[in-house]
Amino acid sequence: MKSVQEITKIILDNARDYGVETVPLGQSTGRVLAEDLVADRDFPPFDRVSYDGIAIRFEDYDKGQRTFPIIGMQAAGAPQTAAEAEGNCVEIMTGAILTLGFDTVVQYEWLDIVDGKATIQEGHSINQNRHIHPKGKDQKKGDVITFAGKQMTAAEINIAATIGKYEVLVKKLPSIAVISTGDELVDVGEIPEPHQIRRSNVFSIAATLGKIGAWVDILHSDDVKEEITGKLAMCLAEYDVLILSGGVSKGKFDYIPEVLNELGVEQLFHRVAQRPGKPFWFGKTDGNIIFALPGNPVATFLGTIRYVLPWMRQCLGLGAMSTQYARLKEGFKFDKPMQYFLSVKIETDDEGVTWALAQKGHGSGDLANLTRIDGFLELPMEQDVFSVGEAFRFWK
């Protein structure tokens, strides 16, 4: 039985590059850029007004002029105009291009406007270039704004749209099948018999992988070896990644390891010294990666965020997930030779210290407890007693 550290290395060492593809901008959320986003013109592309008010010549103000005849209007979105600037002003709006001849903007709140003239109120000091965002101040044409390797969030999508990228080149995601096994499982829309439960783990896996833009096909097989064999053979032929939930322990109907072996899948490990999630199986072929997670909901959920998601991030070049730590709010004891993942609720005190409060639930089958926790605290197997205030890695 391998340790958490050993299987983490095995999993990450088997990350694969699935290439690149072009996707519409509207479908790029969560995807990883495979190209730089480059400014196609200066940012801003013109001297942009940043306040509603009037545009004046600072030279006139500096000479003592405080009242300015209004000779025009410059609206946002209108082409640049020119005016007889000396001694005059134009009303101008936020986002508008600065009217030729002027170099300073005074906001309406500092003005009295009467009979077509704008007077700057007493008590306000004006500086040259006020409320003007100069052309090219943020970025110059040809500058790289966002580098390849960034995940597409609202900010990157904003940039891509601004530079006219209606399609973006992104890292290609593997095709993924998420497969549940078990005679006791029925579809979400069915009314289960007293001895049955609805399938839920597969949807949890799909939702977790959706954070990086991955889409999955959800499949199911009953605990019939021939059916499992046929389903897995089909999936190995059609998908890059198989993520299974259930059927990997030592029960008489846990056929997954046996079937995968018969189908030529190389087993890289089976069972890990952790709780929950000990009967975890991982293997590969030349064209496939297979995660076979235990079927208990908490174990499946933990396995997805602790192993599957980091593997996916490694494939996409995102690197390791950010490391977070939290301190135990109450002491805890676990005296088995395993790494324990403690279900916890997180609190942050007034000094910014993050505390973890155990939410033990009723074992790895207590899926309702997942709604009451913020994540898992990874407690090292070298310890038996974990004291108040000790900090350990937190998996959100």
- Residue 365 confidence (pLDDT) above 60: no
Residue 96 tokens read as 């508008």
**Residue of 129 and 192 predicted with greater confidence:** 129
Q: pLDDT band for position 71 (50/70/90)?
A: very high
pLDDT at 185: 73
Write the pLDDT tens digit of every residue in 113-130: 999 999 999 999 999 999
CATH of domain 4-18+173-315: 3.40.980.10
Q: Which CATH architecture has domain 48-133?
A: Beta Complex (2.170)
How many CB atoms within 10 Å of residue 241?
A: 24
- Residue 58 confidence (pLDDT) above 60: yes
Could you give the C-alpha distances from 329 to 203, 289, 325, 326, 346, in angstroms and in order? Answer: 32, 39, 13, 9, 9
- Does residue 270 contact residue 290 with C-beta atoms inside 8 Å? no
pLDDT at 364: 56
Side by side, which strands form the sheet with 241-245?
Answer: 216-221, 176-181, 241-245, 289-293, 281-284, 266-270
- Residue 371 confidence (pLDDT) above 80: no
Q: Which CATH architecture has domain 22-43+138-171?
A: Alpha-Beta Complex (3.90)
Span 178-206, mean pLDDT?
Answer: 82
Span 70-89, mean pLDDT?
Answer: 95
| Reported CATH class of domain 324-395 | mainly beta
- Does residue 205 contact residue 304 with C-beta atoms inside 8 Å? yes
Q: pLDDT band for position 143 (50/70/90)?
A: very high
pLDDT at 291: 98
| Average pLDDT, rounded, for the chain | 93
Percent of the chain exceeding pLDDT 70 equals 97
Percent of the chain exceeding pLDDT 90 equals 82
pLDDT at 238: 97
Span 71-100, mean pLDDT?
Answer: 96
Task: Provide the residue ranges of all domains of the chain, joining segments of one domain with +.
Answer: 4-18+173-315, 22-43+138-171, 48-133, 324-395
Least confident segment among 22-36, 128-142, 290-304, 364-378: 364-378
- Residue 239 confidence (pLDDT) above 70: yes
- Residue 362 confidence (pLDDT) above 60: no
- Residue 63 confidence (pLDDT) above 80: yes
Span 360-372, mean pLDDT?
Answer: 65
pLDDT at 253: 66
pLDDT at 44: 96
- Does residue 85 contact residue 101 with C-beta atoms inside 8 Å? yes
Residue 105's closest CA among 129, 134, 133?
Answer: 129
The separation between CA 312 and the C-alpha centre of its own chain, rounded to angstroms, equals 12
Write the pLDDT tens digit of every residue in 272-312: 999 999 999 999 999 999 999 998 888 999 999 999 999 99
Least confident segment among 99-113, 141-155, 324-338, 365-379: 365-379
